[in-house]
């Protein structure tokens, strides 16, 4: 199966913002892994306390390598200006140095968006970039606001992106956590940008080739392994002489390998998120929601039954919309009752 579609991203640089810092194998201090969550299965797929840990190895064109471990944690929930949100805390660890961390508050509305990843910045509410200097308690967070002209632009989500996906069948992947039967997904992503200076025009083309091994039993990301190759090609010409431009020249090329180390629901504590938010807010839980119904329901003894559509004689009706909302709020399904995702998230 093969398909391509044009999506929109904030900038061309975001194409390379997943695990690798860029096509260079330079050392990454902080990784924000909000783009690695799988938002296609509804809000029930993220629970406070759930975490997944990966080993990342980046190799540059000169053979320089950079290795580190990344832990993604659902660290808490918060109601922000009436918007139900959840905290994603990412910890980057290297041998011989302390951990680097970042936490981002995301709106639960992201699970209602069929193009959640291209629109991801719209759902970010707050960010914590580390412990506040000179303080023994608390952290310094900043509110993320959209620019004044963000929604007035003709293309508010930035440079168009070409995205082509192929499924390659299934394969068994061996990781430190265990063996997984995975769906292999091949994805090619590309974006281009043209810029001018005083006397010349520069054309830059960025491409990623990803092979993702998808395992739905892995929480948050649904990924057991990924191989990524990134390439930047450039071309330049004098203004008004585009016909004299030479062929594209590969300026940078790198590769990355991401492998699952472990996951769980206990044993990893939040460090940045304020303590009052490090809990599961039952009032924010609406279950699967009508928009998040699984593609396949298990047998009825595993599901809570919906309220009968017709009331018995003599029983008074609830206020308007209460029966529908009550059914929605009490509908649930077991973890793992997911359908295979079409592809691994882009960012």
Summarised one tens digit per residue, pLDDT across range 290-308 is 444 333 333 333 333 444 4
Q: Is the confidence at residue 219, as pLDDT, over 60? A: yes
The per-residue pLDDT for 60 is 87
Residue spans per domain, the chain: 2-147+156-284
Residue partners of 337: CB distance under 8 A and separation at least 6: 294, 296, 297, 298
Structure letter (DSSP) for residue 275: G
For the stretch 5-18, pLDDT in tens is 333 333 333 443 44
Confidence at residue 29, expressed as pLDDT on a 0 to 100 scale: 64
CB 250 within 8 A of CB 244: no
pTM to 2 decimal places? 0.70
Contact 193, 233 (CB under 8 A): no
Cα 19 from Cα 254, distance rounded (Å) = 12
Distance CA 236, CA 240 (A): 11
Helix (H) or strand (E) holding 326: helix 322-330
- Rg of the chain's alpha carbons, rounded to an integer? 23
């Amino acid at each position: 199966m093969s398909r391509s579609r044009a999506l929109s991203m904030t900038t061309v640089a975001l194409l390379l913002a997943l695990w690798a810092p860029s096509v260079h194998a330079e050392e990454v201090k902080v990784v924000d892994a909000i783009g690695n969550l799988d938002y296609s299965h509804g809000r029930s797929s993220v629970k406070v306390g759930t975490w997944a840990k990966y080993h990342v190895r980046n190799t540059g064109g000169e053979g320089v390598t950079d290795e580190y471990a990344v832990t993604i944690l659902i660290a808490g929930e918060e109601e922000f200006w009436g918007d139900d949100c959840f905290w994603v805390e990412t910890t980057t660890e290297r041998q011989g140095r302390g951990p680097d961390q970042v936490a981002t508050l995301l709106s639960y509305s992201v699970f209602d968006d069929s193009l959640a990843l291209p629109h991801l910045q719209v759902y970010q509410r707050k960010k914590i970039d580390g412990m506040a200097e000179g303080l023994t308690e608390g952290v310094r967070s900043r509110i993320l606001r959209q620019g004044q002209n963000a929604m007035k632009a003709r293309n508010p989500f930035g440079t168009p992106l070409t995205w082509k996906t192929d499924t390659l069948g299934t394969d068994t992947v061996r990781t430190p956590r265990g063996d997984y039967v995975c769906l292999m997904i091949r994805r090619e992503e590309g974006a281009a940008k043209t810029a001018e200076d005083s006397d010349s025009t520069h054309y830059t083309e960025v491409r990623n080739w990803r092979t993702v091994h998808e395992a739905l039993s892995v929480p948050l990301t649904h990924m057991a392994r990924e191989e990524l190759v990134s390439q930047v090609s450039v071309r330049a010409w004098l203004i008004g002489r585009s016909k004299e431009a030479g062929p594209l020249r590969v300026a940078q090329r790198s590769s990355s390998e991401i492998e699952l180390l472990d996951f769980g629901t206990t044993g990893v504590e939040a460090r940045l998120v304020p303590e009052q938010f490090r809990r599961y807010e039952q009032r924010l839980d609406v279950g699967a929601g009508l928009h998040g119904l699984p593609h396949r329901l298990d047998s009825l003894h595993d599901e809570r039954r919906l309220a009968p559509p017709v009331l018995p004689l003599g029983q008074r009706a609830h206020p308007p919309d209460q029966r529908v909302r009550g059914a929605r709020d009490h509908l649930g399904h077991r973890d793992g009752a997911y359908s295979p995702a079409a592809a691994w998230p882009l960012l």
